[in-house]
Chains A and B, each alone.
Chain A
């Protein structure tokens, strides 16, 4: 699907990528349905709080340094802003960089919901510029601004003329998309359409889209071995730097769910190749991905040399630790890409994937092709296994854990592993997207798993003394029994 950069809005994932939030089946079925485009979404008659586009945008765009974000919303939508900023400030200080991004809310009140708040928004934009002199102001929308039909675009166009910096709308009303990862696209759309400028010249760098750049030093090193620089986005970038992503040799990413919009958008608009292979988690993932990068930027020999060096260093140790992990059964609950990529690593480490619960699932990416990691897993899994798309629904996860009784639960997104632990299942919250990236981190991931299952006292004691909220009736049902028929 072509990405349209002339509009302030863009298609949500359900429409663009055939994304679903309810599915139950097996890995082979999911792969084949993705290929034929036959996947249908299923709703639920019970649901629990999860995340929204707006929250996703605030958390992601705030990685950029020295901008202002104005959340045009009632106060509650902005409540998480201070913890987001704390996180980003710490990421910047790790690199010794100043970080002055602010998040403000217009705190819409009752009269705003009746009479509109474009006046407040206008004043807030001007006052924000006066106080903070940011490099740009991004205005994010909310359920409430969406429902009252606030003409945010016109206010922004108006104030944009009065101010010497870009003032950019990001449309991310929480109720619009069932897939909160649409927020990543909302942020990318704003950057692509309003910040990125046409290339002045070709640069000698690749764009690397990620979250928290914890593996930055190793990655810089890795690409230095190829003779190119790496530009990691959006964490700790400035707007000026971001505006030149169009000059890159290629765009690569830690996660296809995160990067589909920006990667494909840059490819379509500026011809910057976007690497679409499985991603660099585990050994196979890393090598497939790195070789493809080498091919695209013409550095095959350097890539092979690097791989050879690293293999010699780490593969023997990996073989050793695999012996101690063999046969452990693992349930995974993660986003549309990580769930299947980490599952591949689990199999590589000789553990068994008992079940995958993907939060949502994109049945294709913006290039029109089904996600390669699911195809890969379906082809290489030793046996077909059960998969669901569980929309971060805690009741489903606990039901699944109760049924499959794994040795370990792996999840991304805070607030999910805690429930496994309360139910007595050891769990690892894989907050760091580089956990299991490349050889070295795959090895340390293996050690982390060993550590985790070595002392199970915390979850054992806790789970035997507290009560969980679900009825016995629920634990007797199938995890997907509250799905509605496919529409």
Chain B
């Protein structure tokens, strides 16, 4: 059988679009779907993202056309038009975005002609088709951003060589998106760049509207955001590069060098920033050297996560903590090309270790791969055991961690056992944060 998802690590395209809009200040979604969709997706997304909350108008606050049988039979265009009109009156926002659920996509409402009625409003009203049968939450992020890039971002902007946009971290799917974006932006700003992340601290819709000034889009992912970056290139002529999400000093310094090269920034200026950041970083990291060695905090590691986190975290524990990652399970549903791109991220590490890498959406498979990665004994009399082991994944790995009797840190969706605020796992700051979270788990009993 082709698909059997026993515990979904992604919600649907509509869910991805809604949480992306949730992260965009004063952008108001108008859900064209049945009554339950918005709230169900909010419930799942809120908890899975370390309790992101509904924000300005989310959850029970989301405007939703709540189509019922009548619309399914006779079409929902009139209802949608009425809903947009009332939303404009009731909700104070700067951009209104109609997003669609599966059922209205199937009844074939002509949303374009409904939108024509609102072409002369003071605030823009646009629509993005986001049927959940067309993809998961990460696809929804791409669909939504693609729509915003073509229908909202200014077309007439002059390019500025010092301006870049950051893509590839899906709000909510990445529970740490805001901390991560803020940290990466901070670093790029140190290189003298102006950076739009759209969802970072203090950013507004102006950042999005003027994003076409950018001369480069940096996609912090091999898959997420790549589609939207393609739309951007086509509509605004800005090229993009895909770089992996950098976690910790080793990856972040490499990231800065690659980004700087792509922008033809002078190398010595970049090296100065790296040197300064690394000095601060190792000043902190040095602290753990004592406890690390006194109680032996080296661990084997198994990492289960999405395609952004699985390689980055595996590499971090290998290259920086000196751990031994034995297995990495990437939980996305990917095509051949995408798999090859993500696989590459597990090679070329400084530590020269490499885990067994598997691609699987099915939570129950992790245990099987673990046996594959580590065949205990093979009937030999003496053997290494995969111990002490640390599991890094999502809350879905809780049962596995409990049955193996090993600690678990949740970093990948769903992260329902943590409150995530401004923490970051990206950049230098993120590497220190991850170190602190991992090692705190190990010494919690002290």
A: residues with CB less than 8 A from B are: 45-55, 74-83, 86, 102, 104-105, 107-110, 112-113, 120, 123-124, 127, 131, 143-144, 147-148, 174-176, 178, 180, 392, 394-395, 414-416, 418-419, 467-471, 473-474, 482
B225 located at the interface, meaning its Cβ lies under 8 Å from any Cβ of chain A in the complex: no
Residues of B within 8 A of A45 (CB): 82-83, 85-86
Q: A48-B63, A79-B44, A471-B90 are in contact. Are A147 and B107 (CB under 8 A)?
A: yes
B45 located at the interface, meaning its Cβ lies under 8 Å from any Cβ of chain A in the complex: yes
Residues of B within 8 A of A120 (CB): 1-3
Q: A79-B12, A127-B4, A474-B89 are in contact. Are A109 and B133 (CB under 8 A)?
A: yes
Given the complex of chains A and B, what is the CA–CA distance between A176 and B1 in angstroms?
A: 31
Residues 67-101 (chain B) with a chain A CB within 8 angstroms: 67-69, 71-72, 82-83, 85-87, 89-93, 101
Residues of B within 8 A of A470 (CB): 90-92
Given the complex of chains A and B, what is the CA–CA distance between A110 and B39 in angstroms?
A: 23
B15 located at the interface, meaning its Cβ lies under 8 Å from any Cβ of chain A in the complex: yes
A-B CB contact pairs (8 Å), 27 listed: A46-B63, A48-B61, A49-B62, A49-B64, A49-B66, A51-B39, A52-B37, A53-B36, A76-B11, A79-B15, A79-B43, A79-B44, A80-B43, A82-B7, A109-B133, A109-B134, A113-B102, A147-B107, A175-B67, A176-B69, A414-B43, A415-B60, A467-B56, A469-B92, A469-B93, A470-B90, A470-B91
Given the complex of chains A and B, what is the CA–CA distance between A470 and B61 in angstroms?
A: 10
| B35 and A174 contact, CB distance less than 8 A | yes
B252 located at the interface, meaning its Cβ lies under 8 Å from any Cβ of chain A in the complex: no
Given the complex of chains A and B, what is the CA–CA distance between A415 and B13 in angstroms?
A: 22
| B86 and A46 contact, CB distance less than 8 A | yes
CB distance from B21 to the nearest CB of A (A): 12
Residues of A within 8 A of B31 (CB): 49
* 8 A-B pairs with the lowest CB-CB distances in the bound complex, closest first: A52-B36, A49-B38, A76-B12, A46-B86, A79-B44, A469-B57, A76-B132, A79-B11
Q: A74-B133, A76-B40, A174-B34 are in contact. Are A48 and B102 (CB under 8 A)?
A: no
| B11 and A104 contact, CB distance less than 8 A | no
| A180 and B35 contact, CB distance less than 8 A | yes
Q: Which of the listed residues A46, A76, A80, A104 has the most CB atoms from chain B within 10 Å of its own CB? A: A76
| B62 and A48 contact, CB distance less than 8 A | yes
| A112 and B39 contact, CB distance less than 8 A | no
Given the complex of chains A and B, what is the CA–CA distance between A78 and B48 in angstroms?
A: 13
Residues of B within 8 A of A113 (CB): 102, 106, 133
| B36 and A180 contact, CB distance less than 8 A | yes
| B36 and A55 contact, CB distance less than 8 A | yes
Given the complex of chains A and B, what is the CA–CA distance between A55 and B40 in angstroms?
A: 7
CB distance from A192 to the nearest CB of B (A): 24
Looking at the complex, which one of B47, B102, B416 makes contact with A74 (CB distance below 8 Å)?
A: B102
Given the complex of chains A and B, what is the CA–CA distance between A474 and B92 in angstroms?
A: 10
Residues of A within 8 A of B45 (CB): 79
CB distance from A147 to the nearest CB of B (A): 5
| A175 and B69 contact, CB distance less than 8 A | yes
| A469 and B66 contact, CB distance less than 8 A | no
Q: Which of the listed residues B40, B396, B414, B416 has the most CB atoms from chain A within 10 Å of its own CB? A: B40
Tell me how many residue pairs across A and B have CB atoms closer than 8 Å. 216
| B62 and A82 contact, CB distance less than 8 A | no
Query: Which residue of B has the minimal Cβ distance to A399?
Result: B90
Given the complex of chains A and B, what is the CA–CA distance between A482 and B66 in angstroms?
A: 15
Given the complex of chains A and B, what is the CA–CA distance between A402 and B41 in angstroms?
A: 28
Given the complex of chains A and B, what is the CA–CA distance between A394 and B91 in angstroms?
A: 12
Looking at the complex, which one of B62, B89, B106 makes contact with A147 (CB distance below 8 Å)?
A: B106
| A112 and B133 contact, CB distance less than 8 A | yes
Given the complex of chains A and B, what is the CA–CA distance between A468 and B91 in angstroms?
A: 9
Q: Which of the listed residues B44, B60, B396 has the most CB atoms from chain A within 10 Å of its own CB? A: B60
Given the complex of chains A and B, what is the CA–CA distance between A341 and B149 in angstroms?
A: 51
Looking at the complex, which one of A83, A105, A107, A108 makes contact with B416 (CB distance below 8 Å)?
A: A83
13 extra A-B contacts, CB within 8 A, seeds A82-B7, A174-B36: A45-B82, A55-B36, A74-B12, A79-B41, A80-B41, A83-B48, A147-B72, A174-B34, A176-B69, A180-B36, A415-B59, A469-B61, A474-B89
Q: How large is the interface on B (under 10, 10 to 19, 20 to 34, 35 or more residues)?
A: 35 or more
Residues of A within 8 A of B2 (CB): 120
CB distance from B17 to the nearest CB of A (A): 11
| A50 and B66 contact, CB distance less than 8 A | yes
CB distance from B125 to the nearest CB of A (A): 15
Looking at the complex, which one of A51, A82, A395 makes contact with B90 (CB distance below 8 Å)?
A: A395
| B36 and A50 contact, CB distance less than 8 A | yes
Residues of B within 8 A of A83 (CB): 43-44, 47-48, 414, 416
Residues 322-352 (chain B) with a chain A CB within 8 angstroms: none
Residues of B within 8 A of A482 (CB): 86
Residues of A within 8 A of B35 (CB): 47, 49-52, 174-175, 178, 180
B6 located at the interface, meaning its Cβ lies under 8 Å from any Cβ of chain A in the complex: yes
Given the complex of chains A and B, what is the CA–CA distance between A469 and B89 in angstroms?
A: 11
CB distance from B192 to the nearest CB of A (A): 34
Residues 236-282 (chain B) with a chain A CB within 8 angstroms: none
Looking at the complex, which one of A76, A175, A469 makes contact with B68 (CB distance below 8 Å)?
A: A175
Residues of B within 8 A of A469 (CB): 28, 56-57, 61, 91-93
CB distance from B362 to the nearest CB of A (A): 10
Residues of A within 8 A of B13 (CB): 76
B65 located at the interface, meaning its Cβ lies under 8 Å from any Cβ of chain A in the complex: yes
B180 located at the interface, meaning its Cβ lies under 8 Å from any Cβ of chain A in the complex: no
Given the complex of chains A and B, what is the CA–CA distance between A415 and B58 in angstroms?
A: 9
CB distance from B31 to the nearest CB of A (A): 6
Residues of B within 8 A of A395 (CB): 61, 90
Given the complex of chains A and B, what is the CA–CA distance between A266 and B133 in angstroms?
A: 40
| B103 and A471 contact, CB distance less than 8 A | no
Given the complex of chains A and B, what is the CA–CA distance between A170 and B411 in angstroms?
A: 36
CB distance from A76 to the nearest CB of B (A): 3
B54 located at the interface, meaning its Cβ lies under 8 Å from any Cβ of chain A in the complex: yes
B170 located at the interface, meaning its Cβ lies under 8 Å from any Cβ of chain A in the complex: no
Given the complex of chains A and B, what is the CA–CA distance between A471 and B2 in angstroms?
A: 49
Given the complex of chains A and B, what is the CA–CA distance between A335 and B13 in angstroms?
A: 31
Residues of A within 8 A of B3 (CB): 107, 120
B421 located at the interface, meaning its Cβ lies under 8 Å from any Cβ of chain A in the complex: no
Q: Which of the listed residues A110, A175, A416 has the most CB atoms from chain B within 10 Å of its own CB? A: A175
Residues of A within 8 A of B1 (CB): 120, 123-124, 127
CB distance from A430 to the nearest CB of B (A): 16
| B39 and A143 contact, CB distance less than 8 A | no
B227 located at the interface, meaning its Cβ lies under 8 Å from any Cβ of chain A in the complex: no
| B5 and A76 contact, CB distance less than 8 A | no
Looking at the complex, which one of A49, A107, A108, A110 makes contact with B42 (CB distance below 8 Å)?
A: A49
Given the complex of chains A and B, what is the CA–CA distance between A248 and B106 in angstroms?
A: 46
Q: Which of the listed residues A78, A104, A415, A468 has the most CB atoms from chain B within 10 Å of its own CB? A: A415
| A144 and B103 contact, CB distance less than 8 A | yes
CB distance from A108 to the nearest CB of B (A): 6
